Amino acid sequence: MPRKTPTRILEARGAFRKNPQRKREDEPVVTEPLGSPPDGFKPDEVAAWREIVERAPLGVLTAADWQCVVLASKLFAEAMRDSESMNAARLSRLHSLLGDMGMTPSARASLSIAKPKEVNPFDQFR
């Protein structure tokens, strides 16, 4: 059985426009921002952290994703240092983590960003 897709990802995909009754009301909502990388990070791991955070789809990463970004940053920095010596399992895990954060082509293809609502200046007269 596949894992449940987080509500934030489903909302970004537009899944609830067609089936609003499927929205899970009891899923926890995290509003705190992601935060900073750990103090013990090496410089290349900090650079990997910043790159992941900058390239992640807007509004996807929160404080609840901190550990995921830590692990992805370590693996990404390792891949940048010496990807040829990285085993397939570690590369696969990095790919999986990036996909979980909406950072692979197939993950991005399933996201849809809501367009800002156009303001009609005559709405105030209705």
pTM over 0.85: no
What is the C-alpha to C-alpha distance for residues 75 and 13, in angstroms, rounded to an integer?
27
- In sequence order, the 6+-apart residues with CB closer than 8 A to the CB of 99 are 106, 107
Q: What is the pLDDT of residues 73-118, one digit of tens each?
A: 999 999 999 988 899 999 999 999 999 888 988 887 776 555 666 7
Segments making up each domain of the chain, as ranges: 7-111
Distance, in Å, from the CA atom of 46 to the CA atom of 32, rounded to the nearest integer, reads 20
User: Helix 66-82 to helix 43-55 angle, to the nearest 10 degrees?
Assistant: 120
Q: What gap in Å lies between CA 81 and CA 44, rounded to an integer?
A: 8
Residues 15-37 have pLDDT tens digits of 888 888 877 777 777 889 999 99
Burial 88-120 (b: 16+ CB within 10 A, else e): eeeeeebeebbebbbbeeebeeeeeeeeeeeee
